[in-house]
Structures are given as structure tokens and as C-alpha cells.
């Protein structure tokens, strides 16, 4: 893997600061390849604004620290998806979720995609967080109250009522089957996160998630999140006074 891909993937995983391994001249000079890759990633629009710190201790100006302010751009997310064997839903989901105006939605999807291959437990947790974040944003925008620390299935039930999903289930058998499946997906991801995610400590007998389970959880959570966001934009908000 080349240096550009390495640094962009590191940023996709949440890294926001890069520095030499040590303070010796050889460490700082060796770091210049990483610095150049980061400068290029910013130039071609893969990552957001970077701030470089330099030292002239060894007779010329050399970069000894780079901070990144905004993480990946939309193009950066697409590149990461291409590099990590994306699933068919990635492009449309990334376009919708990473373009969402809410930073929480963007961050949740970014974490889920970044962890999908190498951190199955973290990916499952991120998939659940994505759905929770989308549900809360929809409810907050429509002034629909929900209790503190709600379960995921509780949030989804409120969203389904607000977006009139139950009414569709009553009038169309095929739609009823699909939307009933959505409810099961939400409950299943919530349970899967409790059993296989990384939000709780594990004992010696704990099961570890497989990569395929993580990929499926992220992909299906992304599809459902896109559906809810698009449905919310199509259904006028009710007045909740």
C-alpha cells in the first residue's frame, strides 16, 4: 500500500495528528514522505484543511507535525470505499449520509465504513450508532420528544409513527412486509451490538463477530438510514406542542 492510501485510511479511522516517531534528524527526515502525502491528499480534495508545523533545527525547514481539522471529504470517503472492497450500497449511502448537513450522521457513517473490514466489533457498534443518530435527528427536527437514554427500537417506533410508516403497512401488503423487516433490522442490530459490539467488556466465553456480520450490519444500517432520511424529507413535519 502506498503512503497516500495509508495516511488517508488512517484519517478515515479517526486519526487527526501525524508526527515523526522520534526527535532525531533521521526520524524527522523520514517523516517528510508522510507529510508530502498529506499535503497531496489535501490538494486533491481527499482530506480537509491541514496545519503543518516546521522546524529549522537541521539546516532547512522540515515538517515535524501535521494536524487535520476536518477529516475526510466526500471524495475521500469514496476513495476509502473503493480501496476497502465496497459493498453495492456504499456509493449511494455515502453520497446521502456523508452529504448530510448533520455532522453526527456523517461521523457515524464514516466510523462504520472505516471499521467494517478490520474492526468488526467496532463496526457493529458504529452501525447501531448511525441508526440511533439518524432517528434522533429526525425526531429533534420535528420536535418529537423521547426519553433520556432510549433503546434503539423505541426511537425507531417514534420515527415510524412520525413518518407515517405504519399507515403504509396498513394499506399495502408488500410494503407491510418490507417495513416490518425494517423494524426487525433495527431490533436485530441493537441486540447484535449488545452481544458482539465493543460497547461492553467481554468475558472469556464471549463470542467475537465475523467480518461478514460486521459488513452486513453496516451495509443494511446505511440503507435503512438513507431510507429514513429521504422519507423524512418527503413527509412534512407535524406540529408537536
* Region of 164 on the Ramachandran plot (φ > 0 left; ψ -120 to 50 alpha; else beta): left
Instruction: Residue 167: give the domain boundaries.
Output: 86-234
The reply to whether 147 and 197 lie within a common domain is: yes
Residue 168: pLDDT over 70? no
The reply to whether 94 and 159 lie within a common domain is: yes
Residue 90 pLDDT grade (very low, low, confident, very high; cuts 50, 70, 90): low
* Count of structural domains, the chain: 2
The reply to whether 46 and 128 lie within a common domain is: no
Residue 236 pLDDT grade (very low, low, confident, very high; cuts 50, 70, 90): confident
Residue 9 resides in a domain: yes
Of the residues 21, 38, 68, the one at which a domain ends: 68
Residue 75 resides in a domain: no
State residue 240 phi and psi, 5-degree precision.
-120, 100
The reply to whether 144 and 38 lie within a common domain is: no
Residue 70 pLDDT grade (very low, low, confident, very high; cuts 50, 70, 90): confident
Name 46's bridge partners.
none
Residue 237: pLDDT over 60? yes
- Contacts with 130 (C-beta within 8 Å, 6 or more apart), sequence order: 97, 105, 108, 109, 112, 221, 222, 225
Residue 80 resides in a domain: no
Specify whether the CB–CB gap between 8 and 34 falls below 8 A.
no
Residue 123 pLDDT grade (very low, low, confident, very high; cuts 50, 70, 90): confident
Residue 76 resides in a domain: no
- Average pLDDT rounded to a whole number, residues 219-235: 87
The reply to whether 8 and 95 lie within a common domain is: no
The reply to whether 62 and 101 lie within a common domain is: no
Specify whether the CB–CB gap between 41 and 3 falls below 8 A.
no
The reply to whether 10 and 43 lie within a common domain is: yes
Residue 196 pLDDT grade (very low, low, confident, very high; cuts 50, 70, 90): low
- Average pLDDT rounded to a whole number, residues 14-35: 90
- Average pLDDT rounded to a whole number, residues 60-66: 93
The reply to whether 64 and 100 lie within a common domain is: no
Residue 209: pLDDT over 70? no
Contacts 24+ apart (CB under 8 A), 94-98: 94/222, 96/225, 96/226, 96/229, 96/230, 97/130, 97/222, 97/225, 97/226, 97/229, 98/74
The reply to whether 115 and 24 lie within a common domain is: no
The reply to whether 159 and 40 lie within a common domain is: no
Q: Given this model, what pLDDT does residue 136 score? A: 93
Q: Given this model, what pLDDT does residue 239 score? A: 42
Q: Given this model, what pLDDT does residue 35 score? A: 93
Residue 79 resides in a domain: no
The reply to whether 63 and 100 lie within a common domain is: no
- Kindly state the helix (H) or strand (E) to which residue 140 belongs, with its residue range: helix 120-141
Residue 92: pLDDT over 70? no
**Which strands make up the sheet holding 50-55, listed edge to edge?**
17-18, 62-68, 50-55
Residue 127 resides in a domain: yes
Of 178, 175, 177, 186, nearest in space to 221 by CA? 186
The reply to whether 221 and 147 lie within a common domain is: yes
Of the residues 19, 42, 68, the one at which a domain ends: 68
Residue 78 resides in a domain: no
Of the residues 41, 68, 95, the one at which a domain ends: 68
Lowest mean pLDDT of 55-59, 129-133, 211-215, name the range.
Answer: 211-215
Residue 17 resides in a domain: yes
Residue 165: pLDDT over 80? yes
Amino acid at each position: 500500500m502506498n503512503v497516500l492510501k495509508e495516511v488517508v485510511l488512517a484519517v478515515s479511522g479517526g486519526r487527526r495528528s501525524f508526527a515523526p516517531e522520534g526527535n532525531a534528524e533521521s526520524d524527522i527526515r523520514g517523516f517528510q514522505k508522510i507529510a508530502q502525502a498529506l499535503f497531496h491528499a489535501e490538494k486533491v480534495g481527499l482530506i480537509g484543511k491541514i496545519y503543518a508545523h516546521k522546524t529549522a533545527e537541521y539546516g532547512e525547514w522540515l515538517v515535524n507535525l501535521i494536524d487535520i481539522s476536518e477529516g475526510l471529504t466526500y471524495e475521500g470517503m469514496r476513495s476509502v470505499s473503493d480501496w476497502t472492497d465496497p459493498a453495492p450500497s456504499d456509493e449511494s449511502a455515502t453520497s446521502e449520509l456523508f452529504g448530510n448537513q448533520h455532522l453526527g450522521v456523517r461521523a457515524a457513517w464514516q466510523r462504520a465504513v472505516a471499521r467494517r473490514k478490520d474492526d468488526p466489533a467496532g463496526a457493529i457498534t458504529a452501525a447501531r450508532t448511525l441508526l440511533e443518530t439518524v432517528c434522533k435527528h429526525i425526531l429533534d427536527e420535528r420536535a418529537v420528544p423521547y426519553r433520556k437514554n432510549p433503546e434503539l427500537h423505541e426511537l425507531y417506533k417514534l420515527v415510524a409513527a412520525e413518518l407515517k410508516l405504519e399507515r403504509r403497512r396498513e394499506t399495502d401488503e408488500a410494503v407491510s412486509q418490507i417495513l416490518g423487516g425494517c423494524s426487525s433490522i433495527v431490533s436485530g442490530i441493537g441486540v447484535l451490538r449488545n452481544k458482539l459490539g465493543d460497547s461492553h467488556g467481554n468475558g472469556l466465553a464471549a463470542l467475537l463477530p465475523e467480518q461478514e456480520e460486521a459488513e452486513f450490519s453496516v451495509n443494511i444500517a446505511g440503507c435503512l438510514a438513507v431510507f429514513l432520511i429521504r422519507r423524512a424529507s418527503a413527509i412534512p413535519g407535524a406540529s408537536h406542542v
